[in-house]
């Protein structure tokens, strides 16, 4: 998995680090890491419904913040568990434009093994960094 | 863990980081706790509470309660009082995403002998009627307009719609409806996330517990009687939850608003983006205050509807009305809030915005804000322990002024969820607890493992620290026998 949870950070919350060879992989990994906090068996989420997400932000890290927040929004507003199928990020005139296609289904307690509800993405030590080989993000989710 | 060099011992229960500890600290940071508890605190607590001490308008001290541990922005257990007439700020990171996460306690006239044979039936039915877990929709079908009314009117809306008794309102902080909540200050997304969730528990450390007050655990029988704890081995019900997705979205919305205006408009520099804030007396500060109050009311309403369901369940199981079972509320306390309060500092009364994030207000005897029936004895304080150990009912004290009349809110975690999950297994834990007389139902085995008792501090030590520090006084300890976990 291109993400792992951190034991020593966030006593009552859940922190993770995710990596990707490019931004697209990074965003997909952070989305799965967030969903995996809520649902243990991600593979059980069937792609029955799609939702398109479009976001603009002048800061790359805040674009990721908004993106993860979308997944939390659909989880509450429509009880939808979503995984990212396609994502594109373009930079133009100092702004980042994100387009994503996500797919999933409503939570079914019989098939989806729940872990903990995510209340919010926090900005505590929140970071998106370019590294020698690819990208790394660090996120603390409020539980 | 060793106590860091800069931490000065002021008394057996007060530890101070002086303003010289970090650039920008306006006041000292004080941690309340016994030496054992302070040693157990993670170092991030020092960083976070000293960051809080840099916020504009903070008065006297940035405080951390004995159950404190690291959080985001403020530590959990953080208390900060801002003088709103001297540039004091309001910060969502000082309240938490779960606005008005809090506790409610109900007594019954049942005893352990009455409940023991029916315990599984009760807990199974509670598990069915009070939805818990990820997302989750309640039984209340509200239109978006109904929901707008509900967040402005709080528990009063619920009682007016027959989800509770009139006396429930008198026994809720702010009478279950904080004034000044303005639904025009909340986003459509916040409504989307909340209007289906009234009457749901949530997950993480949220729970609903059937508990027993063993006579040997009633520490002050006179006070206990005034709170309705009168029978040996009396059954009580305690639960912990908040404002659900609605409150989380309100906080997220304003965190982003504040980040945009804080420095360019108000020249406020902060050490952690989770401390994003705005002057209380600014359009953004006022808007958040009015929106946050909607979160407070949503939470009072959520706990009110859950209480209604609990009464239905007991009534159904025992074939008697909730009135006949004397299912009275002791109190409902908020432990994630910011409230405008009058406090006397240096013999001058000042209006302060008191942020409490994982801290409970604990006004002493005679305080005008305490419910009339308890005014002579002080405000009830409800502190939940882990599902394995026990929980407490306490009362506020006159000597609590040093912490702006604030005390602990729970046991306080000592181990991260990720670590706890590797140490325990939910199914095994459930079996172990059952052999110890605690029947647990949960939506999540992994979530259950994360809530194992040893992941928390020693609740008795936390309570003792609040008593030694003079910020609250224990009345009774309750032992869990049944638990619904999110």
3-class SS string, B145-178: HHHHHHHHHCHHHHHHCCCCCHHHHHCEHHHHCC
* Chain B residue with Cα closest to A13: B417
Question: Among all chains, which residue has been given the structure tokens 């970071």?
Answer: A127
Residue B371, phi then psi, degrees to nearest 5: -50, 140
| Closest alpha carbon to B357 in B124, B147, B102 | B102
Q: What is the ipTM of this complex?
A: 0.96
Q: Where are the domains of chain A?
A: 3-142
The C-alpha atoms of residue B42 and residue B30 are separated, in whole angstroms, by 15
Indicate the helix (H) or strand (E) that contains B484: strand B473-485
Question: Among all chains, which residue has been given the structure tokens 């707008």?
Answer: B148
Taking the CB of residue B321, how many other CB atoms lie within 10 A of it? 12
The C-alpha atoms of residue B402 and residue B420 are separated, in whole angstroms, by 35
Predicted local distance difference test score (pLDDT) of residue B2: 58
* Chain B residue with Cα closest to A58: B260
Catalytic residue among B206, B240, B355, B409: B409
| Closest alpha carbon to B369 in B412, B393, B333 | B333
- Going from the first residue of chain B to its last (486 residues), give the mean pLDDT of each consecutive group of 10, the final group possibly shorter: 82 97 97 95 94 98 97 96 97 97 98 98 98 92 97 98 98 98 98 97 96 98 98 98 97 97 96 96 98 98 98 98 98 98 93 98 96 97 94 98 97 93 94 96 94 94 98 98 94
Best mutation target among A38, A111, A114 (most B Cβ atoms within 10 Å) is: A114
Residues with Cβ within 8 Å of B320's Cβ and at least 6 positions away in sequence, in order, are none
Distance in Å, alpha carbon of B236 to nearest chain A alpha carbon:
27
Tokens (6 digits) for B440: 């647990």
Contact A55, A98 (CB under 8 A): yes
- Whether residue A12 and residue B414 make contact (CB cut-off 8 A), yes or no, is no
- Whether residue B189 and residue A73 make contact (CB cut-off 8 A), yes or no, is yes
Question: Among all chains, which residue has been given the structure tokens 């209006």?
Answer: B351
Mean pLDDT of chain A: 96
Residue A1 has pLDDT above 90, yes or no: no
Beta-bridge partners for B340: B353
Domains of chain B, each with CATH number or no CATH:
8-414+456-485 (3.90.1860.10)
Contact B480, B438 (CB under 8 A): yes
Candidates 3.40.190.10, 3.30.460.80, 3.40.50.720, 3.55.10.10; correct CATH number of A3-142? 3.55.10.10
Predicted local distance difference test score (pLDDT) of residue B5: 82
Taking the CB of residue B404, how many other CB atoms lie within 10 A of it? 24
The C-alpha atoms of residue B415 and residue B401 are separated, in whole angstroms, by 31
Predicted local distance difference test score (pLDDT) of residue B7: 94
Predicted local distance difference test score (pLDDT) of residue B250: 98
Predicted local distance difference test score (pLDDT) of residue A9: 84
Residues in A closer than 8 angstroms to B248, CB to CB, are 72, 76, 119-120, 142
Residues in B closer than 8 angstroms to A123, CB to CB, are 72, 255, 272-274, 276
Helix H segments across B69-143? 112-115, 119-129
- Whether residue B134 and residue A117 make contact (CB cut-off 8 A), yes or no, is yes
Tell me whether residue B343 is one of the annotated catalytic residues: no
- Helices B119-129 + B283-318 axis angle, to 10: 140
Residues in A closer than 8 angstroms to B134, CB to CB, are 38-39, 75, 107, 114-117
Distance in Å, alpha carbon of B252 to nearest chain A alpha carbon:
7
| Closest alpha carbon to B187 in B108, B116, B246 | B246
Question: Among all chains, which residue has been given the structure tokens 């000592």?
Answer: B414
A16 burial (CB, 10 Å; 0-12 / 13-18 / 19+) is buried
Q: To 5 degrees, how large is the angle CA B315–CA B332–CA B302? A: 70
Beta-bridge partners for A86: A101
The C-alpha atoms of residue B286 and residue B292 are separated, in whole angstroms, by 10
Q: Compute the residue count for chain B.
A: 486
User: Quick one: average pLDDT of A3-17?
Assistant: 92
Residues in B closer than 8 angstroms to A35, CB to CB, are none
Q: What is the pLDDT of residues A24-62, one digit of tens each?
A: 999 999 999 999 999 999 999 999 999 999 999 999 999
Q: Which of B136, B272, B419 sits opposite A7 (nearest CB)?
A: B419
Best mutation target among B418, B420, B441, B445 (most A Cβ atoms within 10 Å) is: B418
Predicted local distance difference test score (pLDDT) of residue B391: 98
User: Quick one: average pLDDT of A71-100?
Assistant: 97
Q: What is the DSSP letter of B454?
A: G
Burial B84-123 (b: 16+ CB within 10 A, else e): beebbbbbbbbbbbbbbbbbbbbbbbbebeebeeebeebb
Tokens (6 digits) for B349: 């009364």
Instruction: Provide DSSP, chain A.
Output: --EEEESSS-SSSEEEEEEESSHHHHHHHHHHHHHHHHBS-GGG----EEEEEEEEESSHHHHHHHHHHHHHHHHHHS-EEEEEEEEEEEEETTEEEEEEEEEEEE--TTTS-B-----EEEEEEEEEEEETTEEEEEEEEE-
Contact B438, B387 (CB under 8 A): yes
The C-alpha atoms of residue B173 and residue B289 are separated, in whole angstroms, by 17
User: Quick one: average pLDDT of A66-94?
Assistant: 97
| Closest alpha carbon to B226 in B376, B404, B61 | B376
Q: How distant, in Å, are the alpha carbons of B124, B159, B199, B304 from that of B163? A: 21, 5, 11, 7
Q: How distant, in Å, are the alpha carbons of B17, B34, B89, B163, B404 from that of B10? A: 10, 12, 28, 48, 18
Pairing outcome for strands B58-72 and B29-32:
parallel
Tokens (6 digits) for B368: 């005008």
Predicted local distance difference test score (pLDDT) of residue B1: 59
Taking the CB of residue B6, how many other CB atoms lie within 10 A of it? 14
């Amino acid at each position: 998995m291109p993400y792992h949870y951190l034991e020593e950070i966030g006593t009552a919350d859940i922190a993770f680090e995710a990596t990707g060879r490019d931004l697209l992989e990074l965003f997909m990994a952070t989305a799965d890491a967030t969903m995996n906090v809520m649902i243990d068996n991600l593979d059980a989420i069937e792609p029955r419904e799609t939702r398109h997400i479009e976001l603009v932000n002048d800061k790359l890290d805040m674009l990721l913040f908004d993106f993860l927040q979308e997944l939390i929004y659909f989880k509450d507003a429509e009880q939808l568990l979503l995984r990212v199928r396609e994502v594109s990020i373009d930079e133009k005139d100092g702004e980042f434009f994100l387009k994503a296609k996500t797919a999933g289904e409503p939570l079914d307690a019989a098939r989806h093994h729940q872990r903990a509800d995510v209340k919010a993405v926090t900005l505590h030590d929140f970071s998106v960094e370019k590294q020698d080989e690819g990208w790394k993000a660090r996120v603390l989710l409020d539980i | 863990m060793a106590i860091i060099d800069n931490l000065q011992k002021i008394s057996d229960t007060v530890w101070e980081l002086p303003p010289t500890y970090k650039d920008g600290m306006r006041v000292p940071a004080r941690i309340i706790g016994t030496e054992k508890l302070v040693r157990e605190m993670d170092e991030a607590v020092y960083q976070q509470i000293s960051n809080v001490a840099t916020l504009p308008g903070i008065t006297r001290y940035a405080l951390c309660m004995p159950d404190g541990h690291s959080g985001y922005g403020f530590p959990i257990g953080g208390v900060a009082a801002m003088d709103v007439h001297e540039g004091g700020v309001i910060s969502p990171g000082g309240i938490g995403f779960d606005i008005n996460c809090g506790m409610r306690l109900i007594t019954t006239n049942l005893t352990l002998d009455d409940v023991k044979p029916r315990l599984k039936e009760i807990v199974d039915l509670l598990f069915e009627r009070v939805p818990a877990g990820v997302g989750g929709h309640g039984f209340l079908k509200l239109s978006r307009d109904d929901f707008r009314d509900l967040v402005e009117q709080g528990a009063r809306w619920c009682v007016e719609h027959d989800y509770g008794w009139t006396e429930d309102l008198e026994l809720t902080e702010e009478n279950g409806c904080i004034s000044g909540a303005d639904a025009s200050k909340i986003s459509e997304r916040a409504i989307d996330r909340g209007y289906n969730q009234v009457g749901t528990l949530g997950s993480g450390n949220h729970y609903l517990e059937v508990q027993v007050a063993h006579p040997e655990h009633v520490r002050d029988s006179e006070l206990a009687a005034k709170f309705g704890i009168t029978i040996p081995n009396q059954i009580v019900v305690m639960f912990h939850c908040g404002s659900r997705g609605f409150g989380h979205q309100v906080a997220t919305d304003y965190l982003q608003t504040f980040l945009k205006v804080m420095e360019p408009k108000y020249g406020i520099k902060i050490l952690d983006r989770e401390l994003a804030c705005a002057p209380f007396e600014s359009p953004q500060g006022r808007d958040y205050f009015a929106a946050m109050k909607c979160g407070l009311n949503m939470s009072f309403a959520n706990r009110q509807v859950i209480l209604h369901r609990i009464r239905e369940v007991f009534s159904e199981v025992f074939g008697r009305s909730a009135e006949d079972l004397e299912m009275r509320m002791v109190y409902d306390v908020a432990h994630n809030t910011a409230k405008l309060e009058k406090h006397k500092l240096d013999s001058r009364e000042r209006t302060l915005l008191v942020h409490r994030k994982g801290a409970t207000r604990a006004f002493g005897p005679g305080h005008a804000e305490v419910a009339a029936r308890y005014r002579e004895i002080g405000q009830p304080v409800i502190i939940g322990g882990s599902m394995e150990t026990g929980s407490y009912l306490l009362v506020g004290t006159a000597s609590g002024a040093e912490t702006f009349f604030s005390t602990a809110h729970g046991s306080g975690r000592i181990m991260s969820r990720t670590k706890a999950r590797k140490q325990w297994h939910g199914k095994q834990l459930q079996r172990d607890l059952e052999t110890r007389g605690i029947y647990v139902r949960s939506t999540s085995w992994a979530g259950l493992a994360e809530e194992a008792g040893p992941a928390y501090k020693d609740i008795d030590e936390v309570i003792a620290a609040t008593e030694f520090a003079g910020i609250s006084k224990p009345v009774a300890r309750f032992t869990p026998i049944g638990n619904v976990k999110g």
